[in-house]
A = this chain, B = another copy of it.
Amino acid sequence: MEEKEISPAVIGRLPRYFRYLGELKDEGIERISSQDLSELMQATASQIRQDFNNFGGFGQQGYGYNVEYLYDEIGKILGLDRQHRFIIIGAGNLGRALGNYMNFERRGFLFRGMFDQNPELIGSQVRGVKVMPMEELETFIRENHIDIAVLTIPKASALNVAKRLVGTDIRAIWNFAHVDLDLPERIQVENVHLSDSLMKLSYSINRYEQEQEKTAKKRQTGVES
């Protein structure tokens, strides 16, 4: 079967499907109708059907969806049916915060190592994982079959560290540094720009205020909106 390119919008929705289905599973719910999934996801039944058709389709007319089956299948698509070993580079607050997320382990992401260049942080621990010096990076990645490197370091260091990672067998980088990395195709990257997220919030606040002002003006002048 010809594999077509799946749109980023669909891919972006998959984790949320997975999360909600996980909650239904935890609640012991075996089956969910198209309508109910639609309300839960706040998406039309039609969009859900189209999303799933990218992967062969999952529902049954009149039955709806089997929760466990759908959860497992979406889990496989997301690559969560296998384990990934990750390290965190940068043992500051953000790196430590990520090291402490229990949730990652549930999804098969195993926290295996941590690195920093600051002598005060080297030797400290995050959930039993010791912070190692940067010199040991490549060796550790190789000996422990690390798949993913999480970068929680300043912009200035990120490009150099990325260059070093390109020389290893790492499969992916989860990048929290405020800089776009230039990586070969074989290394997947997911950029988390926290300030972008905050800027989107600021946009929403601004827009809401402008709409409120317009509505108030219309009321004052007696113009129908």
Contact = CB atoms under 8 A, between A and B. Distances in A.
Contacts of A27: none
A188 B174 contact: no
B195 A190 contact: no
A147 B205 contact: yes
Interface stretch (A29-37, A117-125, A133-141, A196-204): A196-204
Interface in A187-225: 188-190, 192-208, 211, 214
Contact of A174 (B16, B94, B172, B197): B197
| Stoichiometry, copies per complex | 2
Contact of A172 (B18, B190, B196, B204): B204
Interface residues of A, number: 56
Nearest to A93: B97
A208 B147 CA distance: 13
A101 B195 contact: yes
B199 A14 contact: yes
Contact of A78 (B15, B194, B206): B206
Contact of A205 (B171, B192, B202): B171
A199 B15 contact: yes
Interface of A: 3, 11-12, 14-16, 18-19, 77-80, 82, 84, 92-94, 96-98, 100-101, 103-104, 107, 109, 147-148, 171-172, 174, 178, 185-186, 188-190, 192-208, 211, 214
Given A14-B203, A188-B208, 9 more contacts: A15-B200, A16-B196, A78-B202, A79-B202, A80-B199, A147-B205, A185-B208, A188-B201, A190-B204
- Enumerate the 9 nearest inter-chain pairs by beta-carbon distance, A residue then B residue, closest first: A79-B206, A93-B97, A15-B196, A188-B204, A94-B97, A15-B199, A190-B201, A79-B202, A93-B96
16 contacts: A11-B200, A14-B200, A14-B203, A16-B193, A18-B199, A19-B193, A78-B199, A79-B202, A82-B206, A103-B178, A103-B195, A107-B202, A171-B208, A172-B205, A174-B198, A188-B201
